[in-house]
Structure 1
């Protein structure tokens, strides 16, 4: 909502402020609806993958290697004779699942660290923040490469890898919010009333510190999908024959030179649409939060 303090009923500026506030609200709503719609389409396609394709994700057609899109294979086949359409649909399950799970784990770990560091302060804050500084000193994808190489392939390891490089940002964000919130009168009132430290953290500080986390998490889901695709493209993520967009792009990249675009373009477009959906959703939530602050 727009801030109308200092604007009288007869001031010409009042209408301009109200219009600006409503325009920002409409824009954020459009972003949120568009992003949520794109993600809903991808999620529904992933859930209905067995119904939308007559081929399995790893099923091989020995008579149709690198076959062009046709009736039997809607988007053709790859160099192994596997149906591209089916693999794109099934890969959505893995990509969305890993991205959302990794960001959820990063939010939980980062929030817990930020709560403790922000409320306790002192040497606990210093130690935790120095660890966070070490993680954030490296470019995120380079750090993801190092962690992935250390842990190895596997769905669980990929979730841990992506969560590990995301959690420090949440820890620092929540810590800053908690340090601000703990100085407010409602915390002093809770302490005076005899509330325990755990009660203050969970009932008072945590709910009031999660607003920025909720707006950033969707954006990080898109980044997590790109990280997963990048790791798989380089051979450190999901491996063929398992269906994953980054691995499919890597396998089909050499075919583009020969005009066989269908082996890599469809998974690339699916990845683009999914990341765009998360980005629009996150931007919309940020715009709405900024409008409320104004």
Structure 2
């Protein structure tokens, strides 16, 4: 068990360090570059890395290094906020459905079944096409397609917890139902949610990048990794790798950080359970 816990801790620390470095770079972006994310250098379109532009410029003459750093703010912010909203909404739905059951459980779970009948990215694509791009819409779209999974997960946990002896003792002592939910049921049903949420943050970043790549996310000249990759796709064929490879690498590193963090939390939970 001790060996398993050490391995889990190493994954958690590695993932946390990766994410901390990216967050720090994003926060210090004004100090790390002299160019704004949408500032154009008309004399240097598609300039190679070096000189005044550390990672070169894109087709419009905008500094790639600056845009990569500022895009981290948007991508990380949208992913974390969207997953947080999904956790809150899904947990509340799962809490109500799992604790009271009956018609509330039937209605809520049928709605969840409808959402989960579609592949997640296809559903996000359809909803984004319906409501359009923009940061707020993207947060809502990603939260909407993630919430059903949390609702089903919390419902399953609540259904196993509600019959435990300490819950029955709280009922017989006269505690109100909402008090039992908030003080006893909800905190003990969120353990799997804490494990899955970091993994979903990585998925949310990929969803955002995918939507932007297809033109349904953040429009140019907004700094977003998926949009940058899309804009630079043709340049890679021509040998100008710097317009799309750096944002792709940053996206890869962030998803890796969230994956290691989530995997570490899962390993630690499994080790404690054993």
TM exceeding 0.5:
yes
Query: Are residues 1:215 and 2:195 paired?
Result: yes
Alpha-carbon distance in 1 for matches of 2:130, 2:175 = 43
State the shift of 1:71 in Å.
1.5
Q: Distance in 1 between the 2:194 and 2:70 partners?
A: 28
Deviation at 1:252, TM superposition (A): 0.3
Question: What corresponds to 2:161 in structure 1?
Answer: 181
1:55 is paired with a residue of what secondary structure?
Answer: coil
Match in the other structure for 1:155: 135
Task: Tell me, yes or no, if structure 1 residue 110 matches structure 2 residue 110.
Answer: no
> C-alpha separation between the residues in 2 aligned to 1:142 and 1:92?
24
Residue equivalent to 2:225: 245
TM superposition shift of 1:52: 0.3
Alignment-derived partner of residue 80 in structure 1: 60
Other-structure match for 1:18? none
Partner residue of 1:51?
31
Q: TM-score, normalised by structure 2?
A: 1.00
Write the distance in 2 (CA, Å) between the matches of 1:22 and 1:191.
38
Residue 265 (structure 2) aligns with: 285
Residue of structure 2 equivalent to 1:6: none
Which residue of 110, 113, 131 maps to 1:133? 113
- The correspondence of residues 256-271 of structure 1 with structure 2, limited to 5 A, is 256-271=236-251
What CA deviation, in whole Å up to 9, does each residue of 1:247-293 have, x standing for no partner? 00000010000100000000000000000000000000000000011
> Which stretches of structure 1, 4 residues or more, deviate above 4 A after TM superposition?
none
**Aligned position for 1:11:** none
Distance 2:91 2:148 in 1: 9
Q: 1:67 aligns with which of 47, 50, 69?
A: 47
**Alignment RMSD (CA, Å):** 0.4
Q: For residue 82 of structure 1, give the secondary structure of its aligned residue in structure 2.
A: coil
Once the 2 structures are TM-superposed, how far is the Cα of residue 150 of structure 1 from its aligned partner?
A: 1.2
CA deviation map 1:82-110 (0-9, x unaligned): 00000000000000000000000000000
Cα displacement string for residues 54-92 of structure 1 (whole angstroms, at most 9, x for unaligned residues) = 000000000000000012000000000000000000000
Q: Are 1:96 and 2:76 counterparts?
A: yes
- 1:23 is displaced (CA, Å) by 1.3
Q: Paired residues, what number? A: 274
Give 3-state SS (helix, strand or coil) of 2:93's partner: helix
Q: Any idea what the Cα deviations from partners look like across 1:133-172, whole Å, max 9, x if unmatched? A: 0000000000000111111111110000000010000000
Report the counterpart of residue 227 of structure 1 in structure 2. Answer: 207
Name the counterpart of 1:121.
101
